[in-house]
């Protein structure tokens, strides 16, 4: 199923710069948008980044067109047992998925009318358990 709204997440990988003195937390979104060049088939895959998450007024995110001629994009999330087409940590999906699969279907060109195979990438998400301040003591017997 094609993702119309895109894939939205928060990350702590923002780089501090003089012109953007905000924290490292940023909101990133990947989505399909109408192609900048309307003579080309399909849509453009676009990444938007919002660094100023505490702004009082609505901010214009940084937008970057990544690739064109795309028919659809699918995002799937592996929960350790199965692939799911949604993941919402604010609605009960605690933690992160074990992996994310991105499937990109190139658009059919008008000239050749050849349907290309989808491109697929699986990204494994490695997490660490939270450390605690508790200690374990063994009883002497």
Mean pLDDT value of segment 90-103: 84
Is the pLDDT reported for residue 107 higher than 70?
Answer: yes
For the stretch 8-62, pLDDT in tens is 887 777 776 777 666 777 888 999 999 888 888 889 999 998 887 777 787 788 8
For the stretch 50-88, pLDDT in tens is 887 777 787 788 889 998 889 999 999 998 899 998 888
Distance CA(69)–CA(51), nearest Å, equals 28
Domain ranges of the chain: 7-124
User: In which residue are the tokens 């017997």 written?
Assistant: 141
Distance CA(46)–CA(35), nearest Å, equals 10
What's the pLDDT score for residue 65?
A: 92
> Rounded to a whole number, what is the distance in angstroms from the first to the last CA of the chain?
61
């Amino acid at each position: 199923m094609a993702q119309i709204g895109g894939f939205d997440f928060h990350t702590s990988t923002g780089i501090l710069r003089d012109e953007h003195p905000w924290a490292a937390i940023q909101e990133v979104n990947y989505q399909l948008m109408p192609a900048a060049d309307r003579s080309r088939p399909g849509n453009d895959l676009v990444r938007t980044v919002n660094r100023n998450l505490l702004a009082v007024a609505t901010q214009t995110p940084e937008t970057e067109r990544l690739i064109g001629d795309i028919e659809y994009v699918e995002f799937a999330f592996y929960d350790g047992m199965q692939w799911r087409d949604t993941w919402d940590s604010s609605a009960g999906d605690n933690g992160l998925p074990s992996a994310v699969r991105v499937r990109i279907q190139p658009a059919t060109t008008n000239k050749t009318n050849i349907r290309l195979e989808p491109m697929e990438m699986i990204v494994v998400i490695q997490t660490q358990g939270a450390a605690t301040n508790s200690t374990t003591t063994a009883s002497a017997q």
